[in-house]
Amino acid sequence: MTDSTPKRKTTVVIDTYGGQSAPGAIVAAAARMARQGVARVVLVGDVTSLQDKLSLVPYDPMTLRIEPVPVPHPRHQGDTAAQIEAARIALPIAMELLNNGEADALITASPADLVFSLAEAYLPLLPHVRGLAAAAVFPTLPRQEGGDPLGLLLDVSGRRLQHANSLVEFAVLGAAYARIVTGIAEPKVALLSTGRDPQTGPAEVVRAHPLLRHRPGMQLVGNLQATDISRGLADVVVADGLVGHTVRGLLEGLTTMTVEAARYAWRTRVAWRVGLRLLSQGVGMLRKVSEFQQYGGAPILGLQHLVLGAHPDSGEGAFENALKLAARCHARGLQVELGLAAETLADLPSES
């Protein structure tokens, strides 16, 4: 981890059109976090609507301002089509603030594929990085070494890849992010494949193994299968974008289903409550993760600027934690660390 960490107050720009609870939950979270000194905040959105929301909460105009967008917020909360059209205009404005140095990070709960494509169009890549990786946080069993029972899965963009170099890039950048966020000097990194044998599986996974074996700043623990992901065997799991997207959806669906089944059982039968008490620690951990309050967001890696994607179902607490995460990443010099990590990719062999 680098010692040249920024000292000034973090400035975070937030897209106020994204997510089921926009813009009310976003405004409330931003006002509170700015007032508490977590970060300076720029709300990108319709001025009239945002001022109406701000009139309902205490806020400090010295630490929170509005960047106007000439598009009203949808009349009905959860109007996804209208939110997407508004975000197409708002996100480039927010990204321009990053490029101009007026903001250090962007938080958005707009659809991930939209954010991904606009980031490719408007934000510069790190050196020696050919493409972006969308990350997602997933729950794991408690670790022996302690810490949050969470890991990082990337790429989850839904895009297929053809080259081993892409997996190497994802692993190097994911490990750098994990070092900053968790403080682990050498995060455990695994490749998602069809089996544990490094000589079997998709061709790009087999080719990536020797390229990752002696990379500094990480421990390559080999291949993992999908059934291993939640066991906590790795801090960072690297996958093809389409595979990662599918796995992320399955993990979220199973987590939500388990929590809802536990709630139903608790309400329905006294006998089931006895069993649930025995499982309360595990169910409680799943509940916290499934409610998206524990971590706030996950990054798009490969950019020269920090972009955090919040879950579309995020509420006020999740946006607060996303702001805390953005401030922590900036204070610890994440972009500097990612830049140094990207420089180590210069030695990757070219692939046709």
pLDDT of the residue at 148: 67
Q: How far apart are CA 205 and CA 209, in angstroms?
A: 7
| Domain enclosing residue 171, as ranges | 131-294
What is the edge-to-edge ordering of all strands in the sheet holding 298-301?
64-68, 40-45, 11-15, 105-108, 306-309, 298-301, 133-139, 150-154, 236-238, 188-192, 219-224
Residue 264: CATH number of its domain: 3.40.718.10
DSSP 168-194: HHHHHHHHHHHHHHH--SS-EEEEE-S
206 with 269, same domain? yes
Whether cis (ω within 30° of 0) applies to the bond prior to 155 is yes
pLDDT of the residue at 332: 95
Q: Is the pLDDT of residue 145 over 70?
A: no
pLDDT of the residue at 304: 97
Q: Is the pLDDT of residue 1 over 90?
A: no
208 with 275, same domain? yes
Q: Looking at per-residue confidence, does 336 or 284 come out higher?
A: 336
pTM of the predicted protein model: 0.87
Which one, of 19, 69, 8, lies nearest residue 308 by Cα? 19
The count of domains in the chain is 2
Joined tokens for residue 315 = 């509420």
Which one, of 91, 93, 46, 94, lies nearest residue 70 by Cα? 46
**Predicted confidence band at 277 (pLDDT cuts at 50, 70, 90)?**
very low
- What average pLDDT is seen over the chain? 85
**Predicted confidence band at 244 (pLDDT cuts at 50, 70, 90)?**
confident
Residue 32: CATH number of its domain: 3.40.50.10950
Residue 271 counted as domain residue: yes
Q: How far apart are CA 209 and CA 167, in angstroms?
A: 9
Residue 345 counted as domain residue: no
pLDDT of the residue at 351: 72
**Predicted confidence band at 248 (pLDDT cuts at 50, 70, 90)?**
confident
170 with 203, same domain? yes
pLDDT of the residue at 256: 59
Strand-pair partners of 56: none
User: Which helix or strand (DSSP H or E) is residue 250 part of?
Assistant: helix 241-268
pLDDT digits (tens, 9 = 90+) for 162-201: 789 999 999 999 999 999 998 889 999 999 998 888 888 8
